[in-house]
Amino acid sequence: MPASTTIPMILPAASLQRLKELEDRIVYKYSQDRIDQGLDQDGNEIEDPMLEQFRAGEDDQTYNINMQWLLKLLVKLEECAPSEEDEEGQAEINNDNERGRPTKTETGIKSNNKQETEQEAEYRLQHHLLTERVSSCLTHFCGRAASGAMTRTWSYNTNPPQSLQIHDPSFIGGDVGFKTFGSAYLLSKHIAHGDIPQLEPWTATTSSTSSLPLPKILELGSGTGLVGFAAALFSNPRGPKVILSDYHPNVISTLRYNSTLNHLDGRCEIQLLDWRNVLQKRKRCCLDSWQCNHNNNGDDDNTKKEGKEEDRGEKESEKANNGSGRQVIKGENATKLTQHRSTEYDNVVPNPLVTTGCVFTNTDSTASATNEIPEKDRMDLILGAEVVYDHGHAELVAHVVDEYLKRNLISKDKTIPLSRRRPAFHIMFPIRKTHADVIADFDFWMDKMGLVDCRQAKQWGREDGETVFLYHWREYVRKEHLGC
């Protein structure tokens, strides 16, 4: 690198301008402005100047041209990169400084690599930053899954205005929960606008308008946590902590990071919840109850022996097929095995929660079948965004909701509207043709649990500012609470 090199010579001004325009396009693509951009009743985009400008660079030809240009830019940056000898020499000097040791220059020991001048160090830094910018643009052009981590601000048009900062980690391997789904944003907007009856809108300048107890709230499959944090942000801080849950350790780490980022540690509780443990505990409860009934009916020894053998065989089958995607489904008079497609659960060993003072302490699959959750510890409101996207989730989510949703009305005061007094599960998901059978499975299992949707709504929305989906919002309550 010549000593006279100045920073603007790394890339021409025209290239820097074009790179900045591509970066602005990427920022807009994932921005709330793009996701909130108007859609008509048929899901078609309402034209505006910003959209027209954005679309100008979205056609396949322009996309390919930009990709090729970015690749050539990386090659050019590689050609003008600082020499590796300079890097090694400077790294050695930096390491000496960090460890508090005198450098070779300070001790009078000569080195083959002279210390960089201030100008050379600045060149190296700027070259590194430009390489990072070009690489980042390339990854975003390859799709959200290939792009790196990002932190976005989600603003809500409330009085006073509120916002949440949500960090989406980079996609690593087969991990889930690495992005904020469109359904999560839409459901969080309903929370902010007071559309959830069980969650009375609250601000620092208003007080509760009814005698309802402050709700216990649980979010299932929290992911990056936008829904749960919105519930915490717009609920009375004097109420119970909002519980955000997920099954994957990496997701739990992201939730804790975002909780701290939004200063909500005092209003949220992050918990590990493996839905499989709930289902296994319930199946064990059914098996134990079946065995107890047969023993109490005075069956002969042969019948008891057959029952115990069947019980043992089913338990062994469950153990052998744990996480394999195979389910044991109990009928009224028989047990049958059904096969469903695998899920991301199959790659994670069940991890029972061990936390004192939490409603999830009994979700361990080895827990006693009589370990019923007390009614006082059940939830008034359960939230879920994009939690049913696989056949395996349909039964799991239905069982988990039935397990944790309060069985009695929140209040017996009939002067309060019934819509606010009955515990509910609110779910938001995109309607995909490829997932119609999954939703049909979910409907079947929710009905089997005695949970019915008392309210539905559909609205158009975007997934990361790209694909337009028709989203479905449902509110499920217990059948006995429909006409109380």
* pLDDT 10s digits, 341-392: 444 444 444 444 433 334 554 444 444 445 678 999 999 999 999 999 888 8
Residues 161, 130, single domain; the answer is: no
Q: Is residue 146 part of a domain?
A: no
Domain that holds residue 20: 7-141
pLDDT of residue 213: 83
* Residue 337 resides in a domain: no
Residue 339 lies in a domain: no
Q: Is residue 283 part of a domain?
A: no
176-180: Cβ within 8 A, 24+ apart: 176/223, 176/248, 176/251, 176/344, 177/221, 177/222, 177/223, 177/224, 177/246, 177/248, 177/250, 177/251, 177/254, 178/224, 178/254, 179/144, 179/223, 179/224, 179/464, 180/152, 180/154, 180/223, 180/224, 180/226
The answer on 184 and 120 residing in a single domain is no
User: Are 120 and 68 within one domain?
Assistant: yes
| 444 has a pLDDT exceeding 80 | yes
Residue 326 lies in a domain: no
The residue from 77, 109, 141 where one domain ends is: 141
**One domain, residues 222 and 367:** yes
357 and 260 within one domain = yes
- In this structure, are strands 242-246 and 217-220 parallel, antiparallel, or unpaired? parallel
Domain annotation covers residue 332 = no
Question: Residue 30's pLDDT is what?
Answer: 76
Is there a single domain that holds both residue 261 and residue 408? yes
Per-residue burial over 32-62, b = 16 or more CB atoms within 10 Å of its CB, e = otherwise: eebbebebeeeeeeeeeeeeeebeeeeeeee
Residue 80 sits in the same domain as residue 202: no
- pLDDT, mean over the chain: 76
Question: pLDDT by residue (tens digit) across 103-147?
Answer: 544 444 444 456 778 888 888 899 999 998 998 888 877 766 666
What pLDDT score was predicted for residue 317?
45
**Which CATH number do you get for residue 449?**
3.40.50.150
Last residue of a domain, one of 141, 167, 197: 141
382 in the same domain as 350: yes
> What is the per-residue pLDDT across 155-214, written as a single tens digit (0 to 9) for each?
999 888 999 999 998 765 445 667 888 899 999 999 999 999 998 766 555 555 556 788
Say yes or no: 72 and 212 in one domain. no
Residues 247 and 360 in one domain: yes
Considering only the C-alpha atoms of the chain, give the largest distance between any 2 of them, rounded to a whole number of Å. Answer: 99
Could you say which of 95, 111, 141 is where a domain stops?
Answer: 141
Domain count for the chain: 2
Domain shared by 129 and 211, yes or no? no
- Residue at 219 is within a domain: yes
Amino acid 62: pLDDT: 82
Cβ within 8 Å of residue 83, ≥6 positions away: 1
429 falls within a domain = yes
How would you class 68 by CB atoms within 10 Å of its CB: exposed for 0-12, middle for 13-18, buried for 19 or more?
exposed
User: Are 76 and 171 in the same domain?
Assistant: no
